[in-house]
């Protein structure tokens, strides 16, 4: 529907339509106020459903998608880099190339489509909180860099968002 002369688009049914701001590590008594305390399920304050399409993805399925992406990156790398398990220096080089391939594939895929191969296979999508359909490279690249560090992705808030998602204003939702 038109808003201020523009059509507001939503990336999925029940989409996130408002931009929420607050401290980076919001919790009880933080800048977000009592919203965190009264939230009944992850994503409720963003207008997301409790379960089904558009609900916040759980940690287990997100970890599964990440591991699947790493396997795909290793398989892609093996097409171009010779792997010799008998020589440790060759394996170390292979691992660096696999990490680089994972980074490029993940950043480009999330930027353009909102999902990677692993996320697509498990029915997940990265969406922006402001309702813009594309994540874009300015958000996808820092998000992927923070995911590579692992720790920011492992620390999640009450909405199931890791520090990497909070830093760039995104959230991972279910598509089925």
pTM above 0.75, yes or no: no
- Alpha-carbon distance 167 to 163, whole Å? 6
- Residue 66 near residue 74 (C-beta atoms within 8 A): no
Number of C-beta neighbours around residue 10 at 10 A: 14
pLDDT in tens, 10-59: 444 445 543 433 444 444 444 444 444 577 888 888 888 888 898 888 88
Cα distances (angstroms) measured from residue 54 to each of 15, 27, 33, 47, 65 = 7, 23, 25, 10, 17
pLDDT score at 124: 94
pLDDT in tens, 88-141: 666 667 778 889 999 999 999 999 999 999 999 999 999 998 888 899 999 999
- Alpha-carbon distance 103 to 95, whole Å? 12
Helix (H, G, I), strand (E, B) or coil at 130: coil
What average pLDDT does this structure show over 70-99?
A: 79
- Residue 117 near residue 124 (C-beta atoms within 8 A): no
pLDDT score at 90: 63
pLDDT score at 121: 96
pLDDT in tens, 140-156: 999 999 999 888 888 88
Strand bridging mode 124-128 / 170-174: antiparallel
Q: Quick one: DSSP state of residue 157?
A: -
């Amino acid at each position: 529907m038109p808003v201020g002369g523009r059509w507001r688009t939503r990336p999925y049914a029940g989409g996130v339509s408002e931009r929420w701001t607050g401290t980076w590590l919001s919790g009880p008594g933080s800048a977000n106020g009592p919203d965190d305390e009264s939230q009944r399920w992850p994503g409720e304050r963003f207008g997301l459903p409790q379960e089904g399409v558009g609900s916040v993805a759980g940690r287990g399925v997100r970890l599964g998608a990440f591991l699947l992406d790493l396997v795909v990156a290793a398989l892609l790398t093996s097409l171009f880099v010779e792997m010799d398990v008998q020589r440790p220096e060759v394996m170390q080089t292979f691992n660096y190339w696999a990490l680089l391939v994972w980074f490029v594939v993940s950043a480009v895929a999330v930027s353009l489509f909102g999902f990677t191969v692993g996320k697509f296979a498990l029915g997940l999508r990265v969406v922006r909180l402001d309702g813009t359909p594309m994540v874009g490279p300015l958000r996808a690249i820092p998000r992927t860099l923070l995911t590579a560090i692992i720790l920011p992705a492992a620390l999640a808030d009450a909405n199931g968002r890791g520090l990497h998602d909070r830093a760039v204003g995104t959230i991972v939702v279910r598509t089925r």
